């Protein structure tokens, strides 16, 4: 399934399922961007170099794909002008009377501040509230992460509160602000709203 494309300052943004053959571009970007990414991402065993090596992608891809097949996760690659530029993942999809999930994302440092993450969040949110049948989408962000706070504000998420010592990130239990949006709040959709605000344009397929 492909979502988009949307035209933003950085280029043409689209989302597609992650692929096994993303290994090279994924690893290259993540090894280059350690200082850009590590301080915001969950702690994990092993060195950054090992965890983000070419050979570590197949197991991560397989784990995400297996969750996706069970309907628990939607793992997308973000592309800009057709090239791999980051990831956006809808995780912990719970159905029944909760119908909720979280969204997480990163983009290559080479294309930041160009509207890519905001477009990706809007595309994914509209998808989960329509085709996906969810009611709530949430995102947790460290209060120090100004760019990510800005992404969620531009996309239309609402701040709900502070989770103390919520997540083990960069080697310590870090406070996180919780943001959320529910289906009642999306109106005609976050993408149309982004386009109306002049932050994105519809692009040709």
Ligand X SMILES: CC(C)(COP(=O)(O)OP(=O)(O)OC[C@H]1O[C@@H](n2cnc3c(N)ncnc32)[C@H](O)[C@@H]1OP(=O)(O)O)[C@@H](O)C(=O)NCCC(=O)NCCS
> Can you give the binding site for ligand X, defined by CB under 6 A?
36-37, 40, 105-107, 112-118, 141, 145-148, 150-151
Q: Is 40 or 48 the residue whose CB approaches ligand X more closely?
A: 40
Q: Is 79 or 148 the residue whose CB approaches ligand X more closely?
A: 148
Q: How far is the CB of 198 from ligand X (least distance, A)?
A: 11
DSSP 139-176: EEE-TT-HHHHHHHHHHT-EEEEEEEEEEEETTEEEEE
Distance separating alpha carbons of residues 192 and 74, to the nearest angstrom: 22
Distance separating alpha carbons of residues 142 and 150, to the nearest angstrom: 12
Q: How far is the CB of 111 from ligand X (least distance, A)?
A: 7
Using an 8 Å Cβ cutoff, are 112 and 105 in contact?
no
Q: Is 108 or 132 the residue whose CB approaches ligand X more closely?
A: 108
Q: How far is the CB of 146 from ligand X (least distance, A)?
A: 4
Helix ranges (H only) for 48-106 are 48-51, 57-69
Q: Is 3 or 117 the residue whose CB approaches ligand X more closely?
A: 117
Q: How far is the CB of 96 from ligand X (least distance, A)?
A: 27
């Amino acid at each position: 399934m492909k979502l988009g494309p949307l035209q933003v300052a950085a280029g043409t943004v689209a989302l597609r399922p992650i692929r096994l053959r993303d290994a090279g571009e994924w690893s290259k970007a993540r090894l280059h961007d350690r200082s850009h990414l590590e301080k915001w991402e969950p702690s994990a065993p092993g060195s950054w170099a090992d965890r983000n090596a070419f050979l570590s992608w197949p197991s991560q891809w397989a784990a995400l794909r297996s969750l996706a097949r069970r309907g628990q996760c939607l793992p997308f690659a973000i592309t800009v002008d057709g090239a791999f530029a980051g990831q956006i993942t809808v995780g912990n999809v719970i159905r029944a009377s909760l119908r909720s999930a979280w969204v997480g994302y990163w983009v290559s440092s080479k294309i930041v501040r160009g509207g890519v993450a905001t477009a990706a969040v809007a595309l994914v949110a509209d998808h989960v509230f329509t085709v996906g049948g969810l009611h709530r989408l949430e995102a947790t962000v460290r209060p120090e992460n100004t760019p990510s706070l800005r992404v969620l504000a531009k996309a239309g998420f609402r701040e709900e509160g502070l989770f103390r010592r919520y997540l083990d990130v960069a080697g310590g239990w870090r406070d996180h602000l919780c943001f959320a949006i529910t289906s009642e709040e999306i109106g005609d959709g976050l993408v149309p709203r982004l386009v109306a605000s002049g932050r994105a344009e519809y692009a040709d397929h």
